[in-house]
Every structure is written in structure tokens, then in C-alpha cells.
């Protein structure tokens, strides 16, 4: 029973740490910091950084909340053109579905972890639970290293596989002149994955190295 509790706890940890990173990145604060970098590449088609922040805030709000598609479809540029074309709108709807599912999964796994903790206290298996947290941190570090090496040496391949895993066909491929690419160039996604890795790594290190999670039996 103790071994099962330990490994169930350990397997939940990577999902929870990833969920925490996702929630931190899905904030207007991250957008402001990202577009506020002096080194962030300018839009070759004319958006200023303040315009990027303005429109990206709408995109962020759409994917993290159950907004109807009209929330984006009704957005217009200064010249009266629609901000997003039909292909972009379909993709954003897919992104919204994936994001909301990921957020719900994060809430579910956190709830499961809390329940396991309560059961561990109730049946006096708490040392095994703490051991599971520590092993979860160690497991997360292994995953981060493996994925980090892949992303560092072949980011475009990593980026492509990520989209193929969650989206059908080539629905995520756009022209450089499309709004989504202008708002979220490749540099944006490199920063997103990099910062997510740092957040997850920090949490994993705390769990893996904390002496409080390795009590004497």
C-alpha cells in the first residue's frame, strides 16, 4: 500500500508542476514582460509592441476562458479589416479547447494529490507520501532534461511535434503576414517553453532536494 501511494503521488507531481507553469504563463503580466523586452523582434508588417500587447490580451482571454468564437471574430483593425481570418479563428478555437482541458486536468491532479495526502495522514502513511513528492520531483527533473535537450538542439522539430500531438493536420501553420504569427512569432514560443521549463525545474528541485521530504522511518 505504501509503495502504491508513493508512486501515485510521484506520477502526479510532473502534471501539477506543468499546470502551475501554464497558469503563470496565461497571465497579462507575462505578456507585458514578454513584449517589453528590448530584444523582442519587431513585427515586419507594422504592429507596434503596444498594439501587439493590446491584441494578444484578447487572444489570451479567449483561450483561458470559455468565450464564444465571436469574441475574436468581431475584432477589427484600425482599417476595418478583421483581426483574424477564418483559419486563425478555427485554430484559436482548437487552442481554447486544449487549454481549458489542460487547466481542468491540472485542477483534477491537484485535487487527487490533496486526497492522497489526507489518506496518508488518516492511515499513517505520510512518510510514504512525502517520499512520493520527492520522487515526483526527481522524475520531473529527468523529463525536463530529456525534453530540454530535444528542444535546445531541435526546437522547430520539438515545436512541430508538440502541435502534431494536440492539433489535427496543418491547422497551426500560417503565413508570416497572418495576425497570429505577427503577435506570436517563433521567439515568443521559445520564451514560453523556456520559462515553463524554468518554473517546472524550480519546483522539481525544491521537491527533489528538500530534506523535509525524506523523513527517517
- DSSP one-letter code for 43: P
Confidence of residue 161 (pLDDT cuts 50, 70, 90): confident
Distance of CA 49 to the CA centre of its chain: 23
Give the pLDDT confidence score for residue 214 in this predicted structure. Answer: 63
pLDDT of 78 > 60? The answer is yes
pLDDT tens digits, 188-212 = 998 998 999 999 999 999 999 987 6
Give the pLDDT confidence score for residue 147 in this predicted structure. Answer: 80
Give the pLDDT confidence score for residue 13 in this predicted structure. Answer: 96
Question: What is the model's pTM?
Answer: 0.86
Q: Where are the domains of the chain?
A: 2-213
Quote the percentage of the chain above a pLDDT of 90: 73
Mean pLDDT for the stretch of residues 28-33 = 96
Confidence of residue 217 (pLDDT cuts 50, 70, 90): very low
Mean pLDDT for the stretch of residues 20-36 = 96
Helix (H, G, I), strand (E, B) or coil at 125: coil
DSSP string, 133-199: HHHHHHHHHHHHHHHHHHHHH-HHHHHHHHHHHHS-TTTT---TTSHHHHHS-HHHHHHHHHHHHHH
Whole-number Å distance between alpha carbons of 57 and 32: 9
Mean pLDDT for the stretch of residues 157-186 = 81
Closest by CA to 186, choosing from 21, 41, 26, 28, is 41
Confidence of residue 213 (pLDDT cuts 50, 70, 90): low
Confidence of residue 149 (pLDDT cuts 50, 70, 90): confident
pLDDT of 166 > 80? The answer is no
Mean pLDDT for the stretch of residues 72-76 = 97
The count of C-alpha atoms lying within 13 angstroms of the C-alpha of 6, restricted to the half-sphere facing its C-beta, is 14
Mean pLDDT for the stretch of residues 35-63 = 95
Whole-number Å distance between alpha carbons of 16 and 203: 10
Confidence of residue 170 (pLDDT cuts 50, 70, 90): low
Amino acid at each position: 500500500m505504501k509503495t502504491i501511494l508513493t508512486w501515485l503521488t510521484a506520477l502526479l507531481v510532473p502534471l501539477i508542476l506543468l499546470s502551475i507553469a501554464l497558469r503563470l504563463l496565461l497571465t497579462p503580466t507575462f505578456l507585458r514582460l514578454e513584449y517589453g523586452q528590448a530584444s523582442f523582434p519587431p513585427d515586419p508588417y507594422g504592429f507596434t509592441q503596444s498594439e501587439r500587447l493590446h491584441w494578444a490580451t484578447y487572444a489570451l482571454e479567449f483561450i483561458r476562458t470559455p468565450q464564444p468564437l465571436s469574441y475574436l471574430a468581431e475584432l477589427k483593425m484600425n482599417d476595418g479589416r478583421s483581426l483574424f481570418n477564418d483559419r486563425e479563428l478555427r485554430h484559436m478555437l482548437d487552442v481554447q479547447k486544449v487549454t481549458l482541458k489542460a487547466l481542468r486536468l491540472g485542477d483534477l491532479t491537484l485535487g487527487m494529490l490533496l486526497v492522497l495526502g489526507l489518506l496518508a495522514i488518516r492511515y499513517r502513511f505520510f512518510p510514504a507520501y512525502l517520499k512520493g513528492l520527492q520522487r515526483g520531483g526527481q522524475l520531473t527533473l529527468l523529463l525536463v532534461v530529456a525534453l530540454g535537450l530535444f528542444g535546445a538542439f531541435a526546437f522547430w522539430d520539438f515545436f512541430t511535434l508538440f502541435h502534431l500531438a494536440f492539433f489535427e493536420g496543418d491547422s497551426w501553420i500560417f503565413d508570416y503576414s497572418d495576425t497570429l504569427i505577427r503577435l506570436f512569432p517563433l521567439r515568443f514560443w521559445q520564451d514560453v517553453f523556456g520559462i515553463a521549463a524554468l518554473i517546472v525545474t524550480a519546483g522539481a528541485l525544491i521537491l527533489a532536494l528538500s530534506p523535509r521530504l525524506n523523513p527517517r522511518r
